[in-house]
């Protein structure tokens, strides 16, 4: 395959972007050495390569979560695979609960920073060849790429907001007390993924950008109980806006 200009991780309910690739080549996760099968609903479990907006990209249609019992190193392993394929820009996406009270289901949030509240770090242990031992995370989601995302959103007519993503271990949804804590910590959205991949990518020197699809109000901010089926449904509803945003973002990559 040709060297990808960008690698894109697709979160829950956002996998339809794979249908937009030209000349798509698909490899199931189970056929990739070191990859387990994807087990979470809403994750196709495939590595897909092809052209998007005229540029070669590689998509990860699914990911590995800590709450599935995977080690943090495995949760971050897909980032290492796409780096080995030549990608130097990583775009991450996820479904997230809206901690910020003004968020509504279907909103898209450009990730400006994250809180690692998972209790683990994928870099613990021996240093991987080429990694920084103590990577700088003062700008985990590259400011220039955030500017590109905002510009792409304006061009595509897709409203976006910006905020901080809190990564929790899961699989239980957060309690109302935990959401109040997250508000005080400065979080705008909360989920159970993304952070391990981003930390590993930064250790390898990759540029990172990310978007959260707000699929539900965080626990305690709504009377409705939280349900994964609803998360997937909102992700599918927002898929058209997400696809337009990502396509325009890729078009603007240098």
CB within 8 A of 148, min separation 6: which ones?
209, 249, 252, 253
Q: Which residues are catalytic?
A: 12, 43, 65, 67-68, 95, 192-193, 216, 228
Closest-CA residue to 64 (of 89, 81, 83, 87): 81
Residue 1 lies in a domain: no
Token duo for residue 148: 């590109």
Token duo for residue 31: 């056929």
Q: In CATH, what number is assigned to the domain containing residue 236?
A: 3.40.50.1580
- Residue 218: predicted pLDDT: 83
Q: How many domains does the chain have?
A: 1
Q: Is 64 annotated as a binding residue?
A: yes
Can you say how many angstroms the Cα of residue 155 is from the centroid of all Cα atoms in its chain? 22
- Residue 41: predicted pLDDT: 59
Domain of 173, in residue numbers: 6-251
- Residue 14: predicted pLDDT: 87
- Residue 146: predicted pLDDT: 99
Q: What is the pLDDT along the chain (254 residues), one digit of tens a residue?
A: 689 999 999 988 888 899 999 999 999 999 999 998 877 655 578 999 999 999 999 999 999 999 999 999 999 999 999 999 999 999 999 999 999 999 999 999 999 999 999 999 999 999 999 999 999 999 999 999 999 999 999 999 999 999 999 999 999 999 999 999 999 999 999 999 999 999 999 999 999 999 999 999 887 666 667 777 877 888 888 889 999 999 999 999 97
Report CA torsion sign: 176, 182, 184, 189: negative
Collapse the DSSP code of 49 into the 3-class scheme (helix H, G, I; strand E, B; otherwise coil) and give the result. strand
- Residue 223: predicted pLDDT: 63
- Residue 236: predicted pLDDT: 83
Residue 173 lies in a domain: yes
Can you say how many angstroms the Cα of residue 175 is from the centroid of all Cα atoms in its chain? 23
Token duo for residue 238: 């927002």
Q: Is 174 annotated as a binding residue?
A: yes
Q: Is 114 annotated as a binding residue?
A: no
- Residue 238: predicted pLDDT: 86
Give whole-number Cα distances, 205 to 23, 122, 199, 246, in Å. 29, 15, 10, 22
Q: Is 172 annotated as a binding residue?
A: no
CB 81 within 8 A of CB 49: no
| Torsion-angle region of 45 (φ positive above 0: left; ψ -120 to 50: alpha; else: beta) | left
Residue 231 lies in a domain: yes
CB 7 within 8 A of CB 89: yes
Give φ, ψ of 231 to 5 degrees: -60, -45
Collapse the DSSP code of 232 into the 3-class scheme (helix H, G, I; strand E, B; otherwise coil) and give the result. helix
Give φ, ψ of 149 to 5 degrees: -60, -45
Residue 168 lies in a domain: yes
- Residue 44: predicted pLDDT: 72
| Torsion-angle region of 85 (φ positive above 0: left; ψ -120 to 50: alpha; else: beta) | alpha
CB 60 within 8 A of CB 78: yes
- Residue 21: predicted pLDDT: 96
Residue 171 lies in a domain: yes
- Residue 102: predicted pLDDT: 95
Residue 127 lies in a domain: yes
């Amino acid at each position: 395959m040709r060297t990808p200009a960008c690698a894109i991780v697709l979160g829950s309910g956002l996998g339809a972007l794979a249908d937009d690739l030209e000349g798509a080549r698909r490899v199931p996760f189970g056929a990739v050495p070191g990859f387990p099968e994807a087990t979470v609903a809403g994750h196709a479990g495939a590595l897909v390569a092809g052209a998007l907006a005229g540029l070669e990209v590689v998509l990860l249609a699914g990911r590995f979560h800590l709450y599935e019992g995977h080690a943090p190193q495995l949760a971050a392993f897909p980032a290492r695979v796409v780096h080995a394929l030549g990608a130097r820009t990583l775009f991450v996406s996820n479904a997230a609960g809206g901690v910020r009270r003004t968020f509504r289901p279907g909103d898209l949030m450009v990730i400006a920073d994250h809180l690692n509240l998972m209790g683990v770090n994928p870099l613990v242990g021996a240093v991987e060849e080429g990694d920084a031992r103590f990577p700088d995370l003062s700008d985990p989601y590259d400011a220039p790429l955030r500017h590109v995302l905002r510009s792409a959103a304006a061009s595509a007519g897709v409203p976006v907001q910006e905020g901080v993503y809190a990564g929790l271990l899961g699989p239980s949804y957060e309690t109302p007390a935990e959401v109040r804590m997250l508000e005080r910590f400065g979080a705008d959205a909360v989920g159970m993924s993304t952070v391990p991949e981003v930390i590993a990518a930064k250790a390898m020197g990759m540029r990172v950008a990310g978007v959260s699809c707000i699929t539900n109000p965080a626990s305690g901010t709504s009377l409705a109980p939280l349900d994964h089926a609803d998360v997937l449904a909102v992700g599918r509803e927002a898929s058209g806006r997400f696809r337009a945003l990502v396509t325009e973002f890729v078009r603007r990559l240098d």
